Amino acid sequence: MNEEALQALLEQIAAGTTSPSAGVARLRRLPFEDLGFARLDHHRRLRQGAAEVILGQGKTPAQVAAIARAASGEPAGVPGNVLVTRATEAMYEAVLAALPEAVWHPLPRAITVERVPRTRGHGTVVVVAAGTSDLSVAEEAALTADMLGGPVETIWDCGVAGLHRLLAEVERLQRARAIVVAAGMEGALPSVVGGLVAAPVIAVPTSVGYGTSWGGMAALLGMLNSCASNVAVVNIDNGFGAGFVAASINRG
């Protein structure tokens, strides 16, 4: 209930067309049901065409398909885009049966449905991956950012032990409005990238490595202790989160 609706209700009461008791009944649950932030999602979607995001993990294919269908505005709602993360091929088949526009992205294991133009930000998001093993996480970040606030450029395979590959891309890095860096092992790449640019760097540690990599903890600690000041970090393997934050920066 927005301010206009509230004004209208009170005018009806003033006019006697609604009784005070009926007004109390409608207003009683106001604090919880009609809070500004509860309306946020709708505002955002109308304004930005942003995709609804569904976490596939832990849901059945049928559940995912049903939620995706509703989120896309079917059968009779406002059309919208959908992104399903951590999906399976079985989920894709279920969604595809319901929504023929559905597309399967094998590396990031994601499904997208595009019914309206993707949201664009004011600049470019650049996603960087240290090694080939970091690609599935980096691709998830890139796809997420592209659905929610792209466009996105990618720079693959430029770990710090072969510095020349990274230095060859300095110009593109310096043009970015937000940068995502995915790296495993010692997680040093965000520090090096951060030292080369003025934009914020969202670092995402990957669980790549063995021994004391501790499933990504070594990379995470490296990133949290970065000697570059413009680095913030998301959870291990959380490519979706990194892409989401980068998109929110690029849209802002």
Question: Which 128-167 residues touch its own copies, going by CB under 8 A?
Answer: 130-133, 159-165, 167
* 9/116 with CB nearer its own copies: 9
**Under rule CB under 8 A, residue 76 binds its own copies:** no
Question: Which 46-65 residues touch its own copies, going by CB under 8 A?
Answer: 53, 58-59
Q: From the CB of 90, what's the least distance to its own copies, in Å? A: 18
CA 249 to chain centre: 11
Question: Which 216-235 residues touch its own copies, going by CB under 8 A?
Answer: 216-235
* 108/205 with CB nearer its own copies: 205
Question: Which 233-252 residues touch its own copies, going by CB under 8 A?
Answer: 233-238, 240-242, 244-245, 248-249, 251-252
Which of 96, 178, 181, 182 touches its own copies (CB under 8 A)? Answer: 178
Q: From the CB of 47, what's the least distance to its own copies, in Å? A: 9
**Under rule CB under 8 A, residue 20 binds its own copies:** yes
Which of 19, 70, 96, 101 touches its own copies (CB under 8 A)? Answer: 19
40-67 burial: b if 16+ Cβ within 10 Å, else e = eeeeebeebbbbbbbebeebebeebbeb
**Under rule CB under 8 A, residue 97 binds its own copies:** no
Which of 89, 103, 106, 174 touches its own copies (CB under 8 A)? Answer: 174
What's the token pair of residue 92? 């894709």
Q: From the CB of 125, what's the least distance to its own copies, in Å? A: 11
**Under rule CB under 8 A, residue 67 binds its own copies:** no
* 99/148 with CB nearer its own copies: 148
